[in-house]
């Protein structure tokens, strides 16, 4: 099968277009023919080696986490899916590889594709949807009437999280650029800060939750807009000791996490608020909950650009530039053969 591969960790390096063996699904997995794959900043960070201590992948590595496609083979213990099912998923850590014609996915991580979405739209959902769900629902249990600040509201996670928070009955504040104010308002944001003309820390107070996705300076400012007892969930780091224990990281890696997060944890404690790091996990059951919301019209995909499979490197560069509105997706032709190949 054709795939895009990382041969060595390097920033802004092109992925290699390669012929790779088609994966054989394990007993608890299904083999999916990939029709579309979401492109995430996580893919760029993995390629650059930023997560090699947390996720020590063996190279060469087929990149890609999000997918939508059709089941073409099932493992011996698989009961929920059959050949021909249209599905979507965030592939499990250590079993990623959606920038390819086929990928093997655990049955427990897979869900039927929302009926009203195209393959490209469905592929845009899993990673950002699960991130928002695990932050707002699983980790915090956001309630009606609470106030949440979601950074970068026009981005992939932000555009999904705004809609989910509004569905849960929360009041939502967000940041975005001048050109995206109308977009985030259409998604349900109640209070929009144009970061080009305003500082959010000057206008926001007494929030119950911050969903943080930016840099360290923004994190420090965000802690101060929380009310006592409020929580900040960070998806951009630094990882904390609780996360190290959760993933069973080696002792020296947990020590590094403790050191990296010691400053922010200390500041949070001084302010009487909570800090935790979230690295989302694959979950078919949570995707099914998300599917219900999509089918009911409570959440819609927000798409920026769709690239052909051959232009995967261009798609990754576009995401890494940081200006995408919603999600970026690559689409693959049906079947295993391709007429197009990447430009030299």
Q: What is the CA radius of gyration of the chain?
A: 20
C-alpha angle 67-335-102 in degrees, rounded to nearest 5: 40
What class has domain 128-277? alpha beta
Q: How far is Cα 228 from Cα 248, in angstroms, rounded to an integer?
A: 31
Q: In this predicted model, what pLDDT tens digit does every residue of 222-258 receive, in sequence order?
A: 999 999 999 999 999 999 999 999 888 899 999 999 9
The answer to whether 244 touches 254, Cβ cutoff 8 Å, is yes
C-alpha angle 197-198-199 in degrees, rounded to nearest 5: 140
| Element at 164 (helix H, strand E) | helix 156-167
Q: In this predicted model, what pLDDT tens digit does every residue of 103-129 receive, in sequence order?
A: 999 999 999 999 999 999 999 999 999
Beta bridge partner(s), residue 110 = 89
- pLDDT mean across residues, the chain: 95
Fold of 2-125+301-331: Quinone Oxidoreductase; Chain A, domain 1 (3.90.180)
Task: Tell whether the model's pLDDT for residue 344 goes beyond 90.
Answer: no
Mean pLDDT of 34-43: 97
The beta strands (E) that lie in the chain are given as: 2-6, 16-19, 29-39, 61-62, 66-74, 86-90, 102-106, 110-112, 147-150, 171-176, 191-194, 207-212, 226-234, 274-277, 303-308, 327-331
The answer to whether 106 touches 28, Cβ cutoff 8 Å, is yes
User: Does the pTM exceed 0.85?
Assistant: yes
Q: Where are the domains of the chain?
A: 2-125+301-331, 128-277
């Amino acid at each position: 099968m054709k795939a895009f591969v990382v041969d060595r960790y390097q920033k802004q390096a092109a992925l290699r277009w390669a012929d790779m063996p088609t994966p054989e699904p394990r007993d608890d997995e299904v083999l999916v023919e990939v029709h579309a794959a979401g492109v995430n900043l996580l893919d760029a960070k993995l390629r650059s080696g930023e997560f090699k201590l947390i996720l020590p992948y063996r190279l060469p590595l087929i990149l890609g986490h999000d997918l939508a496609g059709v089941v073409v083979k099932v493992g011996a213990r698989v009961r929920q899916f059959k050949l021909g099912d249209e599905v979507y998923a965030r592939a499990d850590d250590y079993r990623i590889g959606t920038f390819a014609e086929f990928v093997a996915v655990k049955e427990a991580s897979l869900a039927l594709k929302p009926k009203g979405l195209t393959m490209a739209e469905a592929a845009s959902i899993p990673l950002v949807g699960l991130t928002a769900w695990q932050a707002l629902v699983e980790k915090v249990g956001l309630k009606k009437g609470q106030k949440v600040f979601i950074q970068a509201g026009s981005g992939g996670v932000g555009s999904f999280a705004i809609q989910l928070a509004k569905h849960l009955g929360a009041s939502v504040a967000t940041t975005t650029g001048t050109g995206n104010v109308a977009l985030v308002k259409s998604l349900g944001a109640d209070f929009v800060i144009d970061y080009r003309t305003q500082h959010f820390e000057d206008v926001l107070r007494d929030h119950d939750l911050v969903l943080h996705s930016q840099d360290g300076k923004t994190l420090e400012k965000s802690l101060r807009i929380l009310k006592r007892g409020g929580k900040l969930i960070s998806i951009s780091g630094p990882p904390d000791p609780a996360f190290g224990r959760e993933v069973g990281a080696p002792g020296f890696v947990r020590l590094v996490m403790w050191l990296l997060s010691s400053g922010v944890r200390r500041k949070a404690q001084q302010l009487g608020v909570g800090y935790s790091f979230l690295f989302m996990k694959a979950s078919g059951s949570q995707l099914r909950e998300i599917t219900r919301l999509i089918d009911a019209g409570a959440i819609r995909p927000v798409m920026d650009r769709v690239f052909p499979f051959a232009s995967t490197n261009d798609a990754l560069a576009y995401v890494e530039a940081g200006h995408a509105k919603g999600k970026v997706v690559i689409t693959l032709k049906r079947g295993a053969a391709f007429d197009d190949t990447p430009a030299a």
